[in-house]
Amino acid sequence: MAETIIWPAYIDSSKSRSEGRRLPRDVAVDSPSAAEVANAAKQVGYEPEYEPEKQYPRSWWENRGRVTVETDEDKGDVLRAVAAYVEVLRDTDE
């Protein structure tokens, strides 16, 4: 299995594509934290490794962390599943 890195910027609807967003804005979520991403990845069925001290190279001044998961699935599919579940978790918290 391959290690897939998920930076919160990948699914952040407030970021532009050049700032690192990899999903369309209508699928992405607003300002997710790495902790939310890790929790969503766990709920989806992955075994995430949360690394809060890591900094995304394109925005190195933001200390948001990252999440890694071991999977053979397509990265886009993983990002879509995690983003969707972040939304679900936010809806249940309200």
How remote is the C-alpha of 25 from its chain's centroid? Answer: 14
CA distance 29 to 47: 21
For 25, which DSSP code?
Answer: T
The runs of H, that is alpha helices, within the chain are 34-44, 75-93
- The owner of tokens 């290690």 is 3
CA distance 58 to 42: 26
Q: What is the pLDDT of residues 58-89, one digit of tens each?
A: 888 888 899 999 999 999 999 999 999 999 99
Q: How much is the pLDDT for 39?
A: 96
Sequence-distant (≥ 6) Cβ neighbours of residue 42 within 8 angstroms: 48
Cβ contact 51:12 at 8 Å: no
> Is residue 94 predicted with pLDDT exceeding 70?
no
The more confident residue out of 91 and 22 is 22
Q: What is the pLDDT of residues 19-49, one digit of tens each?
A: 999 999 999 999 999 999 999 999 999 999 9
Determine the residue type at 42. Answer: K
